[in-house]
Amino acid sequence: MSRRGPKGSNEKHNHNDNNKNQKEEHMSLIRQIWLLLVGALLLAFFGSVGVVITSARDTLQTQLRIKNNDNAASLALALSQQKGDQQLMELLMSAQFDTGFYRHIKLTTADGRTAFLREQNLLPSQAPNWFVALVPIDSTPGVAQVSDGWRALGSVQVVSQTAFAHDDLWVGSMRSAFALAVVAVLAALIARAVVERIRRPLDAAVAQAHSLVHGEFITVEQPRVPELARLTEAMNTMVGRLKIIFDAQAEQVEALRREAHSDPLTGLSNRKHFMAQLSTSLHGEDVAAQSGLVLLRVLDLAGINRNLGHANTDRMITAVAQALQEYTQRVKGCHLGRLNGSDFALCLPVGGVALETAQAVTEALAVALPAFGSGIAVAVGAVEMHSGTAVGQVMGAVDAALARAESRGDFAVELGSTGDGESAADTTTLGENTWRRRINEALAHGRMKLVNFPVITSSGELLHLECPLRIQLDPQAGYDSAALWLPLALRGRLTALIDERAVELALEGIEADGKPRCVNVSSASLQDSAFASRLRARLLDAPQHARSLWLEVPEIAAVEQFAQVQELAHQLRPTGVRVGLEHAGERLARIDRLFEAGLDYVKLDASAVQGVAGDEGRITYLKSVVAMLHGLSMKVIAEGVADGDDAQVLWNIGTDAVTGPWASGVRRDLLA
């Protein structure tokens, strides 16, 4: 689903902008924890370094004060022994000063006169100037009295240099800071482990919540942290309950589907639904070029009902339905319906086998029906069909064949004709190898193009262009639809290459006009293990255009190849591509893990939506389907809408967009 669509893109961009603003305005819990831890570590580090330096400075200042007092006392004692000889006292003080450990030595007489003074500037320290200025050390002067016996001569004052103290303080501070830094690093590593232990379950809870937003129900393992364990348990419980609700809703949808589309007695498609399926088989984009139709009638059903009774007649009808269903179970792609009380129809996915199928079914019933009583018989008409033939023309031909069979008697079979000649592109004409070569040549020479059909919202805006692929198999002829070349591509295992080329063409179209586009991916392409990886690499090379690309796979792929569909959605999600299902409806409720597929949208098959206006049963069914899919965060698109009343009903029940003949007529400007 394109993220640049007129409506969806605005919502997406607004959502992204809101997320971005929220991230800017609200700091994440983990970041707050990290900032708290870093702040605490830095505060502890600098606080510890400050305490260590302050304590060391106080110790050094105390030592200097004691040293000054001791030196002053020693010098005073030596001076006192000089008996007041001024010259000897000055010589002694000069000798003491010249040791270099003093800032000044001063002798003051008893009357306050300075008798001797030697001083020098502060010696340079090995510590940086900023450190010396930041952590000053005071050298408290040491003072002692000088006397000659009982006669006081004065006092001596000694002040030591502080450079050596600063040197010791700097070295000690660096050692302490290094040791504390090592401790801080170890603490940070431990904090990181603790934060990661908290972060993992939080990330898992966030991923679980995002999965719920995308309609996926996943459970996560409970962490050992008690508070987070309770959160995870609550989330898992909620997910489990939502899954139960979804399962119940899916069962209800399936029940409504059977009620709206099925015959109550046999469970086969009713007339309206079968005719819609027949129309799709004849006029769909990727239908087979040739197919078949078998029409079976139980002869004289009213007489059988009088003779056998209602209950036994119902059992006989059920037996006919079961015999026909056995064939559909063996041949994939058949459509089977009960058109009225006595008529059954079987639509075959391939051509050339209508008569053979009719004879086989008739032979089986000829053996089974006599068990219910004598006189029970059927007549069968069959016809070969070509894509594009009108439904009325096909039904007229098969009715004529059935009438001829009835005129011939019990268990008769007749083959009718629609009046169409063999398709000019019949693959049997030129042979399989020739057609495979033509497909390869078309790939090599780029003889491929996409045609555009608009998918519009209720406001008439373009959601995306649906772009089926056309291939020019014959350089001298026109471009052919998938009905012609797809069967040959499947046999030749060329679908992956074709689908990749379709994606290339879609990206080129998006680059040219900016309109979002949708292309189909064949179920066979998913069987190529490297297909999703190649597609991802190509889309990552064009990130801006990839966000406007939609890819869709058939509903049957989600039923039979669920893991491959899930892997495709998982691989392509980072590219911005929207992945969805097409032709959905018949088997939708049978996709057991639809909520885990990672899909963005579902396109309901034309047979499910055509003629919905005025059919309350189908409206109720479709309303439930839309509600279920919206609950899984998937958009719902209706295919093959040919009538404005149907479109209005579909929009009224919540369908996001429609496509088909009516949509193309409304927005012809989008195809220009």
Q: Which residues contact 429 (CB under 8 A, 6 or more apart)?
A: 422
Q: How far is CA 86 from CA 93, 109, 112, 152, 249, in A?
A: 11, 11, 16, 14, 115
Q: What is the pLDDT of residue 316?
A: 93
3-state SS, residue 351:
coil
68-88: average pLDDT: 85
DSSP bridge partners of 470: 449
Residue 474 has pLDDT above 90, yes or no: no
Mean pLDDT of 353-376: 89
The torsion region of residue 614 among left (phi > 0), alpha (psi -120 to 50) and beta comes to left
Is the per-residue pLDDT at 552 higher than 90? yes
Q: Is the pLDDT of residue 207 over 60?
A: yes
Residue 1 has pLDDT above 70, yes or no: no
pLDDT of residue 375: 84
Q: Which of 171-175, 341-345, 416-420, 436-440 has the lowest mean pLDDT?
A: 416-420
Alpha-carbon span 527 to 494, nearest angstrom: 12
What is the residue-wise DSSP string for 143-183? EEEEEETTEEEEEEEEEE-SHHHHHHHHHHHHHHHHHHHHH
- CA-closest candidate to residue 266, choices 311, 321, 308: 321
The sign of the dihedral angle between the CA atoms of 74, 75, 77, 82 is: positive
**Residue 551: per-residue pLDDT:** 95
DSSP conformation letters of 590-650: G-TTGGGS---EEEE-HHHHTT-TT-HHHHHHHHHHHHHHHHTT-EEEE-S---HHHHHHH
For residue range 102-124, what is the model confidence (pLDDT) as tens digits? 888 888 888 888 888 888 887 78
- The residues pairing with 449 across neighbouring beta strands, listed in sequence order, are 470
Other beta carbons less than 10 A from residue 503's beta carbon? 22
Domains of the chain listed by start with CATH number = 29-185 (3.30.110.200), 290-416 (3.30.70.270), 428-671 (3.20.20.450)
Q: Which residues, 6 or more positions from 43, have their beta carbon under 8 angstroms from its beta carbon?
A: none
Strand partners, 289: none
Q: What is the mean pLDDT of residues 518-534?
A: 91
Q: When comparing pLDDT for 100 and 629, which is higher?
A: 629
- Of the pLDDT bands very low, low, confident and very high (cuts 50, 70, 90), residue 214 is low
Nearest partner of 612 among 635, 641, 582, judged by Cα? 641
- Residue 166's nearest CA partner among 129, 116, 197 is 129
Query: What are 355-365's pLDDT values in tens digits?
Result: 999 999 999 99
Average pLDDT over residues 99-103: 78
Q: How far apart are CA 431 and CA 488, in angstroms?
A: 10
Neighbours of 431 (CB within 10 A): 10
The structure tokens listed for 464 are 């995306």
Backbone angles phi, psi at 348, to 5 degrees: -95, 140
415 in Cβ contact with 398 (< 8 Å): no
pLDDT at 434 over 60: yes
Do residues 485 and 471 make contact, with C-beta atoms less than 8 angstroms apart? yes
What is the DSSP annotation of 222-269?
PPSSHHHHHHHHHHHHHHHHHHHHHHHHHHHHHHHHHHHHB-TTT-SB
Average pLDDT on 377-382 reads 93
Please give the mean pLDDT across all residues of the chain: 84
Note the pLDDT of residue 517.
95
Average pLDDT estimate for 647-660: 93
At 288 the pLDDT is 73
Burial label, 498 (beta-carbon count in 10 A; 0-12, 13-18, 19+): buried
Residue 409: predicted pLDDT: 87
Nearest-angstrom CA–CA distance, 56 and 165: 10
Q: Is the pLDDT of residue 324 over 80?
A: yes
The dihedrals phi and psi of 36, each to the nearest 5 degrees, come to -65, -45
Query: Do the Cβ atoms of 83 and 55 come closer than 8 Å?
Result: no
Distance CA 375, CA 371 (A): 11
Q: With residue 381 as reference, give the H or E element that holds it.
A: strand 378-386
Give the tens place of pLDDT for each residue, 2-25: 333 333 444 444 444 444 444 444
Q: Is the pLDDT of residue 561 over 70?
A: yes
Residue 345: count of CB within 10 angstroms of its CB: 25
Phi (first) and psi of residue 627, to 5 degrees: -65, -40
Residue, of 284 and 92, whose pLDDT is higher:
92
Structure confidence at residue 639 as a pLDDT band (50, 70, 90): very high
Backbone angles phi and psi of 118, in degrees to 5: -125, 130
Per-residue tokens: 606: 């034309």
Structure tokens belonging to residue 489: 């591509």
